[in-house]
């Protein structure tokens, strides 16, 4: 019998992220406490750019954006928000979306699988994802349960279960 496999990936659904940004933009345009402070949320290439006239206001904009991402089912582990910085007369925060599993996190996940998972399970790093294989599908499901219970630095999804 051939080995069963699945892939561990870390991806943010671009459409859901876009919907969250649009919802945050609408709320900021309508809320009274954001009137006259130059608050805005917009895409700037692959990053989300938050602007406001003061550091407190731009942090409040960040809170709105984070709450919209959570409502859209995107965890805050997928967001890499920088510190507020001054740019002319306004303050800005750049948020990058984390896609892919970097080497450090991939090795950490592999180590968890080796140490705590069933002995028949093998994992290998393939670019920015991990391929996990075993002869037993039950062992693979055990690995998924194990990784869901771990507190990882990144948000992971399990795809291509065969």
Q: What is the Cα–Cα distance from 110 to 145, expressed in whole angstroms? A: 15
SS3 128: coil
Domains in the chain, CATH or no CATH each: 4-11+101-159 (3.30.70.860), 14-97 (3.30.70.990)
> Is the model's pLDDT at 1 over the cut of 60?
no
pLDDT in tens, 29-82: 998 988 888 889 998 888 999 999 988 999 999 999 999 999 999 888 888 988
Cα torsion 16, 106, 104, 154: sign: positive
CA distances from 44 to 2, 62, 140 (A): 46, 15, 40
- Mean pLDDT value of segment 131-139: 88
pLDDT at 127: 84
Q: What percent of the chain has pLDDT over 90?
A: 30
Q: What is the Cα–Cα distance from 81 to 155, expressed in whole angstroms? A: 15
């Amino acid at each position: 019998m051939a080995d069963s496999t699945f892939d561990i990936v870390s991806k943010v659904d671009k459409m859901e992220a876009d919907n969250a940004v649009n919802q945050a933009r609408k709320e900021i345009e309508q809320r009274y406490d954001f009137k006259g402070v130059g608050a805005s949320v917009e895409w700037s290439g692959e990053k989300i750019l938050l602007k406001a006239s003061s550091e407190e206001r731009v942090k409040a904009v960040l809170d709105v954006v984070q709450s919209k991402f959570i409502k859209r089912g995107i965890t805050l582990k997928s967001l890499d928000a920088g510190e507020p910085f001054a740019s002319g007369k306004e303050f800005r925060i750049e948020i990058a979306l984390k896609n892919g599993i970097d080497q450090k996190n991939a090795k950490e996940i592999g180590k968890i699988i080796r140490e705590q998972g069933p002995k028949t399970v093998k994992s290998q790093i393939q670019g920015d994802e991990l391929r996990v294989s075993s002869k037993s599908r039950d062992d693979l499901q055990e690995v998924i349960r194990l990784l869901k219970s771990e507190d990882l630095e990144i948000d992971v999804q399990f795809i291509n279960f065969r």
